[in-house]
Amino acid sequence: MTKDFIRRLGIDHPLLLAPMAGETAKPALAIAVSNAGALGALGGAYMAPQTLREAIRAIRAGTQRPFHINLFAPTSWTADPAKMAAYREELGQAHATLGLAGPDLPNSYEESFEAQFAVVLEEVPPVFSTTFGALAPDRVAALKSRGILVLGTATTVAEARALAQTGVDAIIAQGAEAGGHRGSFLASVEHSLVGTMALVPQIVSAVNLPVIAAGGIGDGRGIAAALCLGASAVALGTSFLLADEMALSPGYKALLQSEQAENTALTRAFSGRHARGIRNAFLDRLAGRDDIIPDFPVANAMSKAMRGAASKAGQTDYQSLWAGQAARLARPEPAAAIIARLLAEARQALQTGL
Ligand SMILES: Cc1cc2nc3c(=O)[nH]c(=O)nc-3n(C[C@H](O)[C@H](O)[C@H](O)COP(=O)(O)O)c2cc1C
């Protein structure tokens, strides 16, 4: 299915930049990856609708090749006053350390998915995906009727089946090793931590759709392994965090190249939703404190000022340092060089006989 699928995607190599929202959402990186014959991506979840529109247009202006836009499917959440008060107190200590006033309560917690989705329908990116949930079938149909290829993110076989029923064109199988937020939406995250090695072949067997493997794939050996497991393509996030086109804070980039990057954990500390990142002081302080962490996106909005100030100050103890378990395999290079190296390594790994 690999050749057919990459032909449908309009790319040269079975390689996708995984979508990454927040300070990692860079049109420049998406453009560089697409121009190198892989599929560039932009995680638009935290963008206001107009910013999302401008980002899509910026990518279009920078490449003739296909690219991929990703949003968070809407989730249900409550703004629990007791949790918010307790979490605010924790944040207060971090604010004091950073010399920051507040924390003030945010005016709003998330962008409107409806408005973001309307932009996607108007701007027609070649490929679109969601994480955190399945879209209603009529929404998938609306995307497909405009010629948009639709992907859905699954962390279990059951989620892959549910997504297949909505009419998506392919499944992103996100293993437990992956950096950033978990896409889980049917069972609890604790019951949805299937490693990429086990997840990919089971989803390939369960659904009659192309599968894109994601999570802990850090070099060509991982790409070769995923293709052998039946994946039609692979998506890499953490491997591109050190790309020259990824203007991350220097502290984050330095940590990704240190031994600390071998030590990642799942945490709700920064956003209220489980995500994998490099362990630091704030993550460790809130470990096991789910009782005081509000739901996503409430915690995410509340901790935004702390994370932003810490990033500016180079204080990595209070930043969310999203990274997957293969982070130490990442290399600081231009995106095109990363892609060329990954492909050469994968070719070599696939030629190695037993
Ligand atoms: C910094 C960062 C931000 C992420 N943001 C998103 C996002 O907005 N939407 C999404 O579907 N996945 C997001 N992810 C998950 C990736 O799309 C992908 O599943 C993951 O990076 C694959 O694992 P790897 O990091 O080990 O390569 C993010 C991952 C990272 C590292």
pLDDT tens profile 3-18: 899 999 999 999 999 9
User: For residues 78 and 91, is the Cβ–Cβ distance under 8 A?
Assistant: no
CB of 300 shorter than 6 A to ligand 1: no
CB of 213 shorter than 6 A to ligand 1: no
pLDDT at position 100 is: 96
Domain residue spans in the chain?
2-351
H-helix segments, the chain: 2-9, 27-35, 49-62, 81-97, 113-123, 137-145, 157-166, 196-206, 220-228, 250-256, 281-285, 298-302, 304-313, 335-351
Which phi and psi (to 5°) does residue 82 adopt? -70, -45
Q: Which atom of ligand 1 is nearest to the CA of 183?
A: 11
pLDDT at position 18 is: 98
User: For residues 247 and 259, is the Cβ–Cβ distance under 8 A?
Assistant: no
pLDDT at position 2 is: 81
pLDDT tens profile 123-158: 999 999 999 999 999 999 999 999 999 999 999 999
Cα 183 to ligand 1 centre (Å): 9
CB of 216 shorter than 6 A to ligand 1: yes
Q: Which atom of ligand 1 is nearest to the CA of 132?
A: 11
How far apart (Å, rounded) are the C-alpha atoms in residues 228 and 117? 35
List of residues 6+ apart from 128 with CB closer than 8 A: 68, 69, 70, 71, 120, 143, 148, 149, 150, 151
CB of 184 shorter than 6 A to ligand 1: no
Cα 353 to ligand 1 centre (Å): 32
CB of 246 shorter than 6 A to ligand 1: no
CATH number of 2-351: 3.20.20.70
pLDDT at position 354 is: 59
pLDDT at position 97 is: 96
Ranges of residues in the chain with a pLDDT under 70 are 352-354
